[in-house]
Amino acid sequence: MDSFPLLSLVVPFYNEEEMIGQFFARVIPELARIPDIRFEIVCVNDGSRDRTLDHLVAASRRDGRVRVIDLTRNFGKEAALTAAIHEARGDLIVPFDADLQDPPDVIGRLVDKWREGYDVVLARRVDRNADSLLKQWTAKSFYHVHNDVADVKIPENVGDFRLFTRTVCEALKALPESCRFMKGLFAWVGYRTAVVDYVREARAAGKTHFSGWKLWNFALEGITSFSTLPLRVWTYLGLSVALLALACAFWLAVRTLIYGIDVPGYASLATAILLLGGIQLIGIGVLGEYIGRIYLESKGRPVYLVRQRFEGTAPHA
């Protein structure tokens, strides 16, 4: 069996103590059913404030295939997923969410598709009825906007759940940026890719940690990480405003020559000043988004820090 490929299921955890029992009860049997595959489960505790770490360590002591990586604080899901990928030892790596909205039995289908010779196998959601209507609409809007403005296209309705080989993993580990948008990085590295469709389930327990504000910032991160169009658009907007101003000046000159000089209107003047001022502030804000990311990257800080690793030592069936 040691000659069989090793599959690493990499899972970030943040305040998921209600989910952990169900998680291992469902995931381990499904992984054990996959023929000719060994597996490990790499659990990254992303600074949880509840008893998530205790439950994960207990699971590791019960089953030697469970490894726990405890980060020094909450670095965010993208950093925790990066840590999990870096810690994975497998020939195949499968990022997975702890909330069980992605059915564990799909992992076997990903492996089957990989056996056909693909380097990456995407898990695509074909039914998102488990999500709220607002989340469905915002997700669809994000994919459309991102793919319209970005050079790297993200497959629609594909999250982090996928399978990729060790070769792809090493390519991802070589990417140095600290502001990480993993969906974009997965797409950027490329490789031969296949798709497996599945139906997403409702969250098994607990509640999501992504608020509307976090999702908005996440969308901004994705767009600014893979597109400079928001910067370029202000060149065209400035040119348009300048042409409009020239046209207005020409019209005023002609009107003055024909009808004479009248008393200027303060309302129109104030409106023009406020409009141009608002446009300038928006442009400065967009510029600030990119400068802020340059500032963060220039520091060269690590994406995450590990406090302790817990290696599973207990025998397993």
The DSSP annotation for 39-76 comes to EEEEEEE-S-SSSHHHHHHHHHHH-TTEEEEEESS---
For the entire predicted model, the pTM comes to 0.70
109-158 pLDDT per residue, tens? 899 889 988 898 988 888 766 566 656 666 666 666 666 666 777 777 78
Is 18 a member of any domain?
yes
**pLDDT at residue 161, rounded to an integer:** 87
**Chain CA centroid to CA 260, Å:** 61
- One domain for residues 192 and 254: no
Q: Looking at the structure, do residues 294 and 256 belong to the same domain, yes or no?
A: yes
Q: 21 and 111 share a domain?
A: yes
Per-residue pLDDT in tens (0 to 9) along the chain, 317 residues: 567 889 999 999 988 888 888 888 888 898 888 888 898 999 999 888 888 888 888 888 888 888 999 999 888 888 888 889 888 888 999 998 888 888 888 898 899 889 988 898 988 888 766 566 656 666 666 666 666 666 777 777 788 888 999 998 998 888 888 777 787 788 888 888 888 888 877 655 555 555 555 655 656 665 666 666 676 776 777 777 767 777 776 776 676 677 666 556 655 666 667 667 777 777 777 777 777 777 777 777 788 888 888 886 544 44
Within this chain, do residues 267 and 186 fall inside the same structural domain, yes or no?
no
Same-domain pairing of 33 and 153: yes
Residue 136 forms part of a structural domain: yes
* Under 8 Å between Cβ of 154 and 112: no
Tokens of 152: 């790297």
Do 172 and 275 have their domain in common?
no
Instruction: Supply the CATH number for residue 166's domain.
Output: 3.90.550.10
Tell me which amino acid residue 3 is: S
Sequence-ordered list of residues with C-beta below 8 angstroms from that of 179, at least 6 positions apart, any chain: 221, 225, 293, 296, 297
Residues 10 and 77 in one domain: yes
What is the per-residue pLDDT across 209-221, written as a single tens digit (0 to 9) for each? 555 556 556 566 6
Asked if the structure places residue 139 within a domain, the reply is yes
In angstroms, the CA 173 to CA 85 distance is 8
Question: Does residue 89 sit within a domain?
Answer: yes
Residues sharing a CB contact under 8 Å with residue 172, sequence separation 6 or more, in sequence order: 85, 164, 185, 186, 189
Burial class (CB in 10 A: 0-12, 13-18, 19+), 302: exposed
Q: Is residue 98 part of a domain?
A: yes
Which pLDDT value is given to residue 228? 65
**What confidence score (pLDDT) does residue 317 get?**
42
The helix/strand/coil state of 194 is strand
Same domain, 162 and 253: no
Instruction: State whether 127 and 160 are in the same domain.
Output: yes
**Residue 316 falls within a domain, yes or no?**
no
The total number of structural domains that make up the chain: 2
Q: In this structure, is residue 253 part of a structural domain?
A: yes
C-alpha separations of 141 from 138, 150, 163, 300 in Å: 5, 14, 25, 33
Q: Are residues 46 and 147 both part of a single domain?
A: yes
SS3 call for 251 = helix
Question: Are 176 and 259 found together in one domain?
Answer: no
Helices in the chain by DSSP H: which ranges?
20-33, 52-62, 77-87, 106-114, 133-149, 166-173, 182-189, 212-226, 229-259, 266-299
| Residues in contact with 182: Cβ distance below 8 Å, sequence separation at least 6, in sequence order | 78, 81, 82, 95, 160
| Residue 138 and residue 190 in one domain | yes
Domain-embedded: residue 219: no
Which domain range does residue 276 map to?
229-299
Asked whether 108 and 34 are in contact (CB, 8 A), the reply is yes
